[in-house]
Amino acid sequence: MSESIAHHDEHRDDEASKLGIWLFIFTELLFFGGLFITYAVYRHAHPQAFHMAAQQLDVAVGTINTVILLISSMTIAMATTSIQKKDKRTTLILIGITLVLALVFLVNKYFEWSAKIDHGIWPGSPLLEELGKGDTLFFGLYFFMTGLHALHIIIGMILIIVIFVRVRKDKISFDNFQLLENGGLYWHLVDLIWIFLFPLFYLIT
C-alpha cells in the first residue's frame, strides 16, 4: 500500500506522534510502577534487612551514574534545540555525546554488577539464601530493576543511533525533527526512572 504510506508521510502530524510517545511513556511508568509497589511492600516487610543491604551498594558509582544520565538528558535536549537552529554539526556532536554517556553508564553498571557477582551476590545465589529473606528480596529487586533499566538504556541507545543516522542523512532536519524530540522524551523517561532507582537503592539506608 505504497499510496497510503506516501499519504501518511505527506500528512505528517507531529502533534499525533508526540501524543503517541507521551502515552507510551505512561505505559513505561506503570510498567516500572509494578516494581515500585513490590519494592514498597518488601521494604515495609523487611526494613532492617533493606537498610543493611543498601549499605553494600557503592554510593559513589551510583552518584556518578546519576550525573552521567542527567548530563546525557541535557545533551539530547540541546540537540533538539540545535537542530531547530539548523546547526547539523552541533546536533550530531550532542547526540554523539549522549551516546557516549549512555555507554559509560553501562560500563559502570557492568563493573558494579560484576563486583556484586564476585562477592557471590546474584539473584537466587546460595549466599543470598544464607543472608536471609530481606537480603534476597533487596538484591533480587536490585538486579531486576537496574537490569530492566539497563535494558531500557540499550533500547534508548539503539533509538538514538537511528536518530543519529537520520540526522546525518538529513532525514531529520529543522522542519522535521519530531523523531529526535520523541527520542529525547524517551531518553528523559529512562533518566527519570533512574532518578527514582538511585535513592531507593543507594541513598535510603
Partner 1 sequence: MSSNTTDNTGYKSYLEEDGGRKGIFKWILSTDHKRIGLLYLYAMMLWFCVGVVLGLLMKLELIAPGKTLMEAQAYNATFTVHGVIMIFLIVIPGLPAVFGNFMLPIQIGAKDVAFPRLNLFSWYIYILGGILVIISLFGNGPPDTGWTFYAPYSFKTGTNMLPAALGAFVLGFSSILTGLNFIVTIHRMRAPGMTWFKMPLFPWTLYGTAWIQLLATPIIGITLLMVAGERILGIGFFDPAKGGDPLLYQHLFWIYSHPAVYIMILPAMGAISEIIPTFAKKTIFGYKAIVFSTLAIAFVGYFVWGHHMYTSGMSGAALWAFSLLTFIVAIPSAIKVFNWISTMHQGSISTEIPFLWAASFIFIFMIGGLTGLVLGSLAIDVHVHDTAFVVAHFHFIVFGGVGFAFFGAIHYWFSKIFGRKYDPSWAKTGWIIFFIGFVTLYGPMFYLGIKGMPRRYFDYLEEFHGPNIISTLGAMVMVAGFLIILVNLIKSARHGEKTTEMNPWGGTNLEWQVPTPPPLENFDEIPVIDKATYKYD
Binding residues vs partner 1 (CB under 8 A): 1-5, 7-8, 13, 15-17, 19-20, 23-24, 26-28, 30-35, 37-38, 41-42, 45-46, 122-124, 129, 132-134, 136-137, 140-141, 143-144, 148
Residue 2, exposed/middle/buried by CB under 10 A (0-12, 13-18, 19+)? exposed
Q: How far is the CB of 150 from partner 1 (least distance, A)?
A: 14
Cell of 96: 554523539
Q: Give the three-state DSSP class for 176.
A: strand
8 A C-beta contact, residue 162 and residue 107: no
Q: Do 138 and 196 touch, CB atoms closer than 8 A?
A: no
Q: Which is nearer to partner 1, 9 or 175 (CB)?
A: 9
Cα separation, 32 vs 191, in Å, equals: 13
Relative orientation angle of helices 59-84 and 178-198, to the nearest 10 degrees: 160
Q: Whole-number minimum distance, CB 55 to partner 1, in Å?
A: 19
Closer by beta carbon to partner 1, 151 or else 161:
151
- State in angstroms the smallest separation of the CB of 28 from partner 1: 7
In whole angstroms, the minimum distance from the beta carbon of 166 to partner 1 comes to: 16
Q: In terms of CB distance, is 34 or 60 closer to partner 1?
A: 34
- Which CB atom, from 99 or from 134, has the smaller least distance to partner 1? 134
Cβ 164 vs Cβ 102: under 8 Å: no
Among residues 102 and 137, whose Cβ is nearest to partner 1?
A: 137
